Amino acid sequence: MKKDETLKSLETAEIELTRFVETAKSLIDGIDAEDKVLPTSPRETKFGEWFYSDGQKLKALSNNPLECMSNIEQLHDKLHGRYREIFDLFYSQENKGGFLSKIFKPKQKVLTESELKLVNEEYVAMQKTAEELLAEISRLQRRLVAVSEEKINALV
């Protein structure tokens, strides 16, 4: 594991997470993006793949408390859960089941006022979760900067 690559992975994660929140906002604003993000497991994202592989090695750093990694995991899961709530409100469940539903993209539905209020509340909560997650990642970055290259390279 190399220090500069690890820091780059965290910078990339910040960008990815920010775009993820922007995708939810586009969905709410009615912008039908071609690259619409379907809800996925947090482990299936680029950040998730890194976090559950090389990222786990950072638990061994003496200046990185275990709760840091636990907080990042919980907040990342929560962020994806909030996105799923928003996504599920916009896409009806009527497309479930058939063979063709797996080929064609789900159709966005028009929300009622109460659903729109709920989706906006979920979005605000998603933003807050993203801010907390980005703050935790920032703390991790500062800890990594404070550690020597040799200590990070020695992590197996």
Tell me how crowded residue 87 is: count the other CB atoms within 10 A of its CB: 20
Structural domain count of the chain? 1
Residues forming a β-bridge with 91: 108
Per the structure, the complete domain to which residue 142 belongs is given by 3-153
Contact 40, 80 (CB under 8 A): yes
pLDDT band at 28 (very low <50, low <70, confident <90, very high): confident
Residue 87 three-state SS: helix
Convert the pLDDT of each residue in 29-87 to its tens digit. 877 655 566 778 899 988 999 999 999 999 988 898 889 999 999 999 999 999 999 98
The CATH code of the domain that includes 108 is 1.20.120
Question: How does DSSP classify residue 64?
Answer: S
Q: Is the pTM of this model over 0.75?
A: yes
Provide the pLDDT for residue 1: 80
Q: How far is CA 84 from CA 1, 14, 42, 89, in A?
A: 33, 20, 11, 8
Tell me how crowded residue 113 is: count the other CB atoms within 10 A of its CB: 7
Angle, vertex CA 122, rays to CA 108 and CA 78, nearest 5: 105
- Nearest Cα neighbor of 133 from 62, 45, 33 is 45
